[in-house]
Amino acid sequence: MKMDVDMKERMSIMMLFFLQSYKILMGSMLLFFVPQSCGEDNHVCNMTEVLNRDTYINNFTIFMNAFTTFTFVIYYLVELKRENMCVQYLDIDQNHGDNNLSKELINYPFIKNKLTTMNILYYYSSLLTLNTYAINLFLSTYVLYKNYHGLNTATSFTSFIMLILIKLYNSFYISKDSKVNNNALSAYMTEFQSYNVIDKDYIHKINIEQISQNEFRVVSVEESKKGPTIINPLCIDTKNTNQEIKNIKNIKNNIKNDAKKMSKKKSWSLMANINMF
């Protein structure tokens, strides 16, 4: 089975997601993965000892570790849904700038509304996760400081939180920029790239259908909606009044305007079909 570009992009995103999931778990559940001192001999605590340490601050920090992991799950679900939507409806074209998408979206209100909704959800989910992790980090730092176990604690703690903070910073930057400018910066590309054109599978295609000898219809293939029906101006009865002829000309102009809005690019074949009316 031959894989298309969209499938390759989805596979790449899923691989990066699984790699990031590991570091998110390690960086959120700090009390379980960072070495701590336990007992009079100051041995390294195991997970059971961490759970059985019956202090209010320890129990609340464990709860915040778990809640932070939960917010990351919600955040990743939103991020993956947004990324999948971008892969499905949009594409990356190096011949266009990042701001080209806003120009193309004018003719695609359905895609524009979906992108706007996902950008808003992505922004607020990243903001919630960022604030939750800040509280979790503060509490975890306090508990780990009270149960410090030398250099192992310091190095593990630093490496785990650095991975998380880099991810959160990048995500918040992407979500904020996408929300403000209504663009589609990718959260999974190796370098920041923006989906800047409509996917070729969703570019408007216009067909002109003939209903009868004197009637035609404009059909949008993408939306599967039938456009307006008009009378062929080439078959005007001489008995028509001037007002009727004027009305027919107005209909012809409206069809031309609709076709311009529905099509990304004007093709000579399309204009030739329209000019036949």
Per-residue model confidence (pLDDT) at position 171: 86
Q: Is 219 helix (H, G, I), strand (E, B) or coil?
A: strand
Enumerate residue ranges in the chain where pLDDT < 50.
1, 190, 221-225, 229-241, 263-277
Q: pLDDT by residue (tens digit) across 41-66?
A: 888 888 888 888 888 999 999 999 99
Read off φ and ψ for residue 108, nearest 5 degrees: -130, 70
Distance CA 251, CA 157 (A): 70
Please tell me the predicted confidence (pLDDT) of residue 219.
Answer: 58
Whole-number average pLDDT of the chain: 76
Interior/surface letters 198-227, b for 16+ CB within 10 angstroms, e for the rest: bbeebbbebebeeeeeeebebebebeeeeb
DSSP, collapsed to helix, strand or coil, labels residue 188 as coil
| 213 Cβ contact partners less than 8 Å away, ≥ 6 residues apart | 232, 235
Say what the pLDDT of residue 65 is: 95
User: Which pLDDT value is given to residue 273?
Assistant: 41
pLDDT of residue 63: 95
